Amino acid sequence: MSAITVHDKQFVPFIAEDTILHKIKELGAELNKDYEGKKPLFIAILNGSFMFASDLFKEVTIDAEICFIKLASYKGTHSTGHVITAIGLDIDITGRHVVILEDIVDTGKTLHSFLPQLQNQQPASLKIAVLLHKPEAQQFPLPIDYVCITIANKFVLGFGLDYDGLGRNIREIYQISE
Ligand code: 5GP
C-alpha cells in the first residue's frame, strides 16, 4: 500500500483490511455471547457505518435484527456538529436490547445529542459499538461499550469513511498525512 491523494489531501496507509476484519470478528463473538437469547436490534448510523455494519452483522450468529438510520452529514476534515435526521427509525425499540453501530466517535457530539431520543423510547438496554474511537478528540460524555480500534486524533478515511464524499470504497483505513 502506498500514499493516496483524495481531493486536495494526501493520506497514508494506517490500518490494514485484515486487522479491521479481525477486530470486527472479535466484536461479533463478544456480541454473540452478550446478547444470546436477547434478540438485539442493531441500529447502524449511515452513511459511514455501512461497511462496518455489514461485516459485523455477518459475524452475528444469534437471532438479531438490523436497521439503518441517517443522522448527520460531515463535511471537510472537522465535525460539523449538525445533526440531521434524514432516514427515520421504523422499528419500535421499546423493551428491545439496542446496539448502536457507529463508524467513528470523534467529539462524541453526534451520539451524545441522539442518545436521549432513543432513551425516551425506553429500550430494555442501549449500548454503543464503534469501529473507531478517538479518545483525545472526545468532548461530549458518552458510554462507549464496544470499541474495535482506538486511534489518535487524526483524520482517517476508507472502510466506509469519506473525505467530502470520496474514499468510502477503500478496503483499508488511511490516515491524513501532515
Ligand atoms: P462526532 O460527532 O463524534 O464528532 O463525529 C461523528 C461523525 O463525524 C462520524 O460518524 C463521522 O461521520 C465523522 N468523522 C469524525 N471523525 C472522522 C474522521 O477522522 N474521518 C472521517 N471520514 N469522518 C469522521
Give the per-residue pLDDT at 128: 98
Give the per-residue pLDDT at 116: 86
Domain at 17-173, CATH from 3.40.50.620, 3.40.50.2020, 2.60.120.330, 3.40.50.970: 3.40.50.2020
Give the per-residue pLDDT at 4: 98
Contact status, residue 82 vs residue 74, Cβ threshold 8 Å = no
Give the per-residue pLDDT at 108: 93
Task: Kindly state if the Cβ of 104 falls inside 6 Å of ligand 1.
Answer: yes
Helix segments in 35-147, DSSP class H: 50-59, 109-119
The structural domains of the chain, with segments of one domain joined by +, span: 17-173
Reading the block at residue 130, the C-alpha cell is: 464503534
Going from the Cα of 140 to the center of ligand 1, the distance in angstroms, rounded, reads 13
Give the per-residue pLDDT at 178: 77
> 92, 106, 145, 162: which is the annotated catalytic residue?
106
- For a ligand 1 pocket test, name from 106, 114, 154, 174 the mutation site with the most ligand atoms within 8 angstroms of its C-beta: 106
106 has catalytic annotation: yes
Strand stretches in 73-115, DSSP E: 83-87, 97-105
From CA 165, how far away is CA 159, in angstroms rounded?
13
Give the per-residue pLDDT at 82: 54
Task: Kindly state if the Cβ of 99 falls inside 6 Å of ligand 1.
Answer: no
Q: How confident is the chain (178 residues) per 10-residue block, as mean pLDDT?
A: 94 98 98 98 96 98 95 52 61 96 94 88 97 97 97 98 98 95
